[in-house]
């Protein structure tokens, strides 16, 4: 737990939760930006989408990760549609997530 009862997400707890969900493939093979996350990172393959989750040690590091994704994105990529910082985690979706996919992944971050 962080200050004021705010939960800090962890790679191990999130990974364990995701592995319990049928139809998901979880791997630690991630992109360069995610590989720099001090709390680790993983990639989740859903039925029709994929998401990379990077874990910072705190919200400041998560913001650093999000800034790196914004800086290194391709010029024609609308990153804000697929980039989702959440507390100390940063989610980068391959495509705009469906509400069901987002709920599945976010449920493991609670």
63-92: pLDDT as tens digits = 999 999 999 876 666 788 899 999 999 999
CA distance 108 to 77: 27
Q: How much is the pTM?
A: 0.91
Every domain of the chain and the residues it spans: 3-107
Q: What is the pLDDT of residue 46?
A: 97
28-54: pLDDT as tens digits = 999 999 999 999 999 999 999 999 999
Q: What is the pLDDT of residue 106?
A: 95
How confident is the model over 14-29, as a mean pLDDT?
A: 96
pLDDT(1) > 60: no
H helix and E strand count, the chain: 4, 5
The encoded tokens of residue 24 equal 């998901």
């Amino acid at each position: 737990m962080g200050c004021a009862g705010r939960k800090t997400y962890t790679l191990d707890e999130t990974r364990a939760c995701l592995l319990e969900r049928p139809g998901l493939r979880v791997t630690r093979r991630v992109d360069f930006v995610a590989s720099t996350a001090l709390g680790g990172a993983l990639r989740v393959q859903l039925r029709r989408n994929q998401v990379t989750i990077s874990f910072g040690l705190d919200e400041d590091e998560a913001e650093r990760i999000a800034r790196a994704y914004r800086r290194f994105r391709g010029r024609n990529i609308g990153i804000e549609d697929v980039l989702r910082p959440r507390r100390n985690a940063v989610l980068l979706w391959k495509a705009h997530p469906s509400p069901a996919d987002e709920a599945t992944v976010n449920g493991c971050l609670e």
